[in-house]
Structure 1
Amino acid sequence: MNPFFNDNDSVSALEAQYNAQRIAFAPIVFQVARSMRDLGVLKALYEHKEGLSIEALAKETNLSTYGITTLIETSLSADIVKQKGELYFITKTGCFLLNDPMTIANMNYNHHVNYQGLFSLDEAIKSGKPTGLKVFGEWETIYPALSILPENAKQSWFTFDHFYSDSAFPEAVKKLLSLKPSKILDVGGNTGKFSMLIAKSDKALHVTIMDLPEQLALARENIEKAGLREQIDLLPANVLAPKHSFPKGFDIIWMSQFLDCFSEEEIVNILSKAKEAMNEQTLLCIMEPFWDRQRFETSAFCIINTSPYFTAMANGCSKMYHSKDFIKLIEMAGLKVDEIIDHLGVCQSILKIKRG
């Protein structure tokens, strides 16, 4: 585990005051940065390494000099652009805002999915319900609504979700196939991406995706397009339903970025149900981005700051976990971590779990 954020009070009082103002104005800086990207200002600066004046930028982007000046001056204060005389240039930070896939996914996700709803974070914290979700409609959680969210929100949500999981999938497939399974239960399989990838990698393997009916509708369409109906079954289920139980007879029960969608009490409940379906040979493999097990502080920062989305938008009660806290929940369910495999893809770890 890495000691992230342990030395975060070492600045001077003047620097601390400045940091506080950067936080106070963060919503404005965020929207200016996004407008700089989406209105083509960053692209113009990136393509003109010789620099551009306010007037040249206005002409290049078909925006007013007033609009450009407003965007540029905030961007100057946020280290997105730099100035030499009358000319402006894109900085390294500006280049990441424009071109970095992680930054693009994070920014679109926060703008289209979270921005308006997080206005209700106080209410969500106090009530334990995703009160910000009302900006999209009246649901108890976001999950049944994912397939019918406004297009920008839906695309941003799935791009964000897949960015943090997909990069780990090829390595995860190799790890699971090395265990020689014949049947895998993919719990919370979402759009079916992982199940399709592992099924294509081993034609003798049979996979069952267990998820909400609304999610399986998306998976079914993808599986049929991929011609994998013979290898992949779909099992509609709500794992929180009191009478729900896990099916038995699987070599591996797989959960990828699934349990972070639930409260601690719900996680213990789900894991306890999984345990009842496991024999001595069954492995429960959980892939999660634990913020304390990251290689870089940037990843830890991104993962931690996904938690308020769960509070205000998703369900009001879940979060991204520190591995120590998560392992306690596993042990409370009567299970034991046999092995931890870190640094898969951008940020993932796999916990290999057996009956305690």
Structure 2
Amino acid sequence: MTEYPEDVAGVGDERIVDSTALVTGSTSGIGRETALALGRLGAHVVVHGRDAEAGRAVVDAIEDAVNEGTAEFVRADFAQPDEVSRLAKRTREAAGDGGLDVLINNAGGYFREARLTDLGVEYTFHVNHLSPYQLTAELLDDLADDARVVTTASEGHRGDPIDLDELTAVDDFSSWRAYQRSKLANVQFAAELGRRLRDRDSAVTSNSFHPGAIPGSGFFRHLPGPLAAAAGGLGRLPFVTTPADGAATAVYLAVADEVADTTGRYFADRREKTPSTEAQDPRAQRRLWEASADLLGVDEPLAAADGSAGSDDAGGAGGSDDGAEATAE
């Protein structure tokens, strides 16, 4: 019997009718399962991806289910800032006066090729971190009063600190280092967003999570041929985490009552987990936040009125050390 992410998350009986959710990267893998789950719970889901046919299939699956969920698809390339802005605009229109209730920053991947985007930023960092940062910033004024922002990170974030000078170069490129750096940025971004919202007495929350090692998510398609084939075979084994299992924590953070007031935290398997020391560093979080605005050429989102950076409180980025150890898209 199929077990849906909302059931794994313990929120299968919840109804979120009249709410709007945007799930980026939702035409396959974890994002697709998250979008389907929120649709089954009754939300209007903005489905995002680059494959229009796959996007329409997700929309049809949501609307064909026996529930009150509805959906629409918006195509956007996360390497293109103009397309991210278009996605924000379309989402704003979909949410209407009630505002966006759930933003799942899930789009991303592992990319082997060394390249810069048109903005002059290393591709993995731009797609996995800078575009979610841009999208969230452009939607801040359109979030519902109690909205939840959830960012897909990874245990792959554990590694070296982010060297801000490396973000606009691909010298000595390492695909794993680029991925690790982008996932560290995801955790730092979610924590810093949570702190800045809390400093403004906002009820909007921001958390990140590790979904687990998921061969069926599509993450492994970027690995060299033999490794990709081997990982694909793992997806047929009964004990390996599925995309639906990986989506459970995203759905939990988006819907569960017990985390309605939790912000700035990192989760794995629906439990708080302690991220790396670097991920918890409030100064590193703040530097990344400011550098991201500079790279995009935009004003710093949620900047203090006097131009100061605010407190150095990391936002309680603690928790337990139990959880899955692996990487995920």
Q: Which has the higher contact order (CA 8 A, sep 6+)?
A: 2
TM range (shorter): 0.3 to 0.5
TM-score normalised per structure 2: 0.37
TM-score normalised per structure 1: 0.35
